[in-house]
Amino acid sequence: MIHVEYYLIVSAIMMFAGIYGFLTRRSTLAILLSIELMLNSTDLNFAVFNRMLFPEGHEGYFFALFSIAISAAESAIAIAIMINIYRNLRSIQVKHLEKLKW
């Protein structure tokens, strides 16, 4: 018997690993990876809630589906931006992205 809590625990671990990575990473690409982790954990939550708590509905399922599509779009744009930054600055370290600061 797999309870809904079990999935949620795994998802929470994934989520907070992503948060930790977001806070500590220096490379923008690594930060994006962390964001993917967090997105993934929410997808899992959507699916789990749908499956375990409301099996007759489909909302969570479709949310997860659309979320995957949107994250694909997001990463495509993010990577385009990264490449552009790299071309201009020769680095994608967060600390170097300060042209627009103050």
Residue 58 Cβ vs another protein, minimum distance, rounded to whole Å: 6
Residue 27 phi/psi, 5° resolution? -85, 135
Cβ contact 53:4 at 8 Å: yes
Q: Which of residues 71-90 bind another protein (CB under 8 A)?
A: 71-73, 75-77, 79-84, 86-87
Q: In the complex, what is the shortest distance from the CB of residue 28 to another protein, in angstroms, rounded to a whole number?
A: 9
Site for another protein in 13-32 (CB under 8 A): 13-27, 29-32
CB of 89 to another protein, least distance (A): 10
51 makes contact with another protein (CB under 8 A)? yes
What is the rounded radius of gyration, in angstroms, for the C-alpha atoms of the chain?
17
- Contact between 96 and another protein by CB under 8 A: the answer reads no
Q: Is the dihedral of CA 6, 10, 11, 12 positive or negative?
A: positive
Contacts of 46 (CB under 8 A, 6+ apart): 60, 61, 63, 64, 67
Q: Does 94 bind another protein (CB under 8 A)?
A: yes
Kindly state whether residue 69 participates in binding another protein, applying the rule CB under 8 A. Answer: yes
Task: Verify binding: residue 42, another protein, rule CB under 8 A.
Answer: no
State both tokens at 82.
Answer: 């990264």
